[in-house]
Amino acid sequence: MASISLTVNKKKYQIDADPEMPLLWAIRDLIGLKGTKFGCGMAQCGACTVHLDGEAVRSCVTLLGRADGQEIVTIEGISDNTSHPLQKAWIELQVPQCGYCQSGQIMSAAVLLRENPHPTDQDIDEAMMGNLCRCGTYTRIRKAIHRAAEIMNG
């Protein structure tokens, strides 16, 4: 057990927990933010993607101890009122089917667009390869990222 301090979506948390616990379960079960999903537990599917100090990480393999003292953003904190350009584009193009993978998709795409406001299809493929969608929404995700870039760049 250790005392770990995290900032999640701008709120500070002090958590007493096993530092070996993956960040995913701390976010979901200790902090109670359920938008970040469990899909594989071994960095294969991207459903658990969050931002750790601005970088997209797979929270299922990020140990809580490593996140100590750092800033985390989850899907719940990416915008107020579902107003992020990616969320708008996702709604406009009706991307989600079951929706389970989509938190992770959006979190990965958000880092891509921050680093590269005009991504090509190939840039998208490279940045989004780690995010599986069993429902098969890939063609819409591609279009929606382009659309979000358009919204962002006005």
Partner 1 sequence: MKTGQKIKRRDFIRIVALPGAALFIVGYLDIKNKAPQIVNLSASAPGARINAYVFIDSSAGITIYNHRPEMGQGTFESIPMIIAEELEVDIAKVNIMASPADRKLYGDQMVVGSSSISGNFELMRRIGAAAKETLITAASNRWHVLQGDCYANDATVIHRSTGKKLTYIELAEDASRLSPPQNPKLKDPKDFTIIGTSPPRKDIPSKTNGEAVFGLDCSVKGMLYASVERSPVFLGRLVSYDDSKAKAVKGVKYVLKTQRNVWGHRREGVAVLADTYWAAAQGRKALEVKWDNGDLESWSTKKIKEDYKKASAQDGVIFEEKGNFSKVYDSAPVKIEVSYETPYQAHVPMEPMNAIVYAKKDSCEYWGSTQNPNGFRSQLARQCGIAEDNVTIHYTYMGGAFGRRSLTDVAEEAADLSMKTGMPVQVVWTREDDLTQGPFRACSLNVCKGALDSEGNPIGLEHKVICQDIRNQTGDDDRATDGIAGGINTDYLIPNMVIKGVLRKLYIPISYWRSVYHSTNCFAHESFIDELAVAAKKDPLDFRLSLLKNHERYTALLKAIAEKTGWYRPPQKDTGKGVAIVERSETFVAAVAEIAAKDGNVSVMKITVAIDCGIVVNPDIIKFQTEGCVVMGLTAAYKSGLTIEKGRVVEQNFNNYAMMRINECPEIEVIVMKNSYDPSGGGEPGLPPVAPALTNAIFNLTGKRIRELPFNLDMV
Binding site for ligand FES (CB under 6 A): 38-41, 43-48, 58, 60, 96-102, 133-135, 137
Answer with the entry of ligand FES, partner 1, none that 85 interacts with (C-beta below 5 to 8 A by kind).
Answer: none
Q: Which of 6, 22, 52, 85 is the binder for partner 1 (CB under 8 A)?
A: 22
Helix (H) or strand (E) holding 104: helix 102-115
Cβ-based neighbour number of residue 140 at 10 Å: 18
| C-beta closer to ligand FES: residue 91 or 118 | 91
63 bridge partner residues = 22
Amino acid symbol at 121 = D
Answer with the entry of ligand FES, partner 1, none that 58 interacts with (C-beta below 5 to 8 A by kind).
Answer: ligand FES
Cβ-based neighbour number of residue 79 at 10 Å: 15
H helices, E strands: number in the chain: 6, 5
| C-beta closer to ligand FES: residue 85 or 96 | 96
CA distance 141 to 40: 21
Structure tokens at 128: 């989004």
Q: Point out which residues bind partner 1 (CB under 8 A).
A: 1, 18, 21-22, 25, 28-30, 33-42, 44-45, 47, 74-76, 78-79, 82, 86-87, 90-91, 94-103, 106, 124-126, 128-129, 131-142
